[in-house]
Amino acid sequence: MIIFIAICAFIATLLGGLFALRLKDKLHLILGFSAGAVIAVAFFDLLPESLDLGKGFYSNSTLITITAIGFLVYLVLDRVVFLHAHAHDDIDDHGSHEHEVESKRGILGASSLSVHSFLDGLAIGLAFQVSSAVGIIVTIAVLTHDFSDGINTVNMILKNNGGRPKAFRWLITDAIAPVLGVVSTFFFTVSAQGLAIIIALFAGFFLYIGASDLIPESHHAHPKLMTTMMTVLGAGVLYVAINLIG
């Protein structure tokens, strides 16, 4: 049964990404939706889950601080590691360098989302170690936002000057990730306190991706009313889905 669930997670992620690829001409609207969805996952799914898992091990303020550290770590990776060479660029090669920087940013975002998908699979496997009932509840929650994960992964590549083939390769990576996460739990377990720290960090990563990357990009050179409405819709859809599952 658990292998079947892993396959369902693969399909849900893949369908979300294919949806984004098909509607590339409406990318700004999809980016707006993705921004709201990513931020909603951080606030309404990852952070509460981290606080719940860490109960008895860490204070709420400690885990929220770790989320802030995750945000700042991602900021450093984005601003310093990938953008530090701007001041040394010549005008002639500025365009090619900018393309390379954006490509790396896309890879950073897509890889973060893929690791998150791996953790989703890990959560499913660990939940089934507790009981079948808990496993099914967690599975429903994961499948609910796997579709959105596929959309977000494709968008991270497309918006950073990545082509459709590259976006599709990262989509496959993201779709396989939860399957690997599930399978990995056959060989080891992760303590609740360890998982709480990891999830808190990824909440910070996702807040940065949504607020500092996806939202500004979705508004660039496009009507802000529609993209803002899509951002609110993305957050609302994920909020309702997560709370219905909860």
**32, 230 Cβ separation under 8 angstroms:** yes
At 68 the pLDDT is 97
At 217 the pLDDT is 66
At 62 the pLDDT is 96
d(CA 83, CA 61): 32
Least confident of 2-16, 131-145, 221-235: 131-145
Element (H, E) at 41: none
State yes or no: pLDDT of 235 exceeds 60: yes
Check residues 133 and 192 and name the one with the higher pLDDT. Answer: 192
At 91 the pLDDT is 41
Per-residue pLDDT tens digits for 26-70: 767 777 887 888 898 889 888 998 999 899 899 999 999 999 999
Give the pLDDT mean for 157-169.
79
- CA distances from residue 233 to 29, 96, 161 in whole angstroms, order as listed: 11, 35, 26
State yes or no: pLDDT of 138 exceeds 80: no
State yes or no: pLDDT of 20 exceeds 80: no
Give the pLDDT mean for 153-164.
76
Number of H helices, E strands in the chain: 10, 0
At 137 the pLDDT is 57
Q: How sure is the predictor about 98, in pLDDT bands with cuts at 50, 70 and 90?
A: low
In whole numbers, what is the pLDDT of the chain averaged over residues?
78
pTM above 0.85, yes or no: no
**150, 175 Cβ separation under 8 angstroms:** yes
State yes or no: pLDDT of 85 exceeds 60: no
Check residues 86 and 26 and name the one with the higher pLDDT. Answer: 26
Q: How sure is the predictor about 89, in pLDDT bands with cuts at 50, 70 and 90?
A: very low
Residue 209: Cβ within 10 Å count: 26
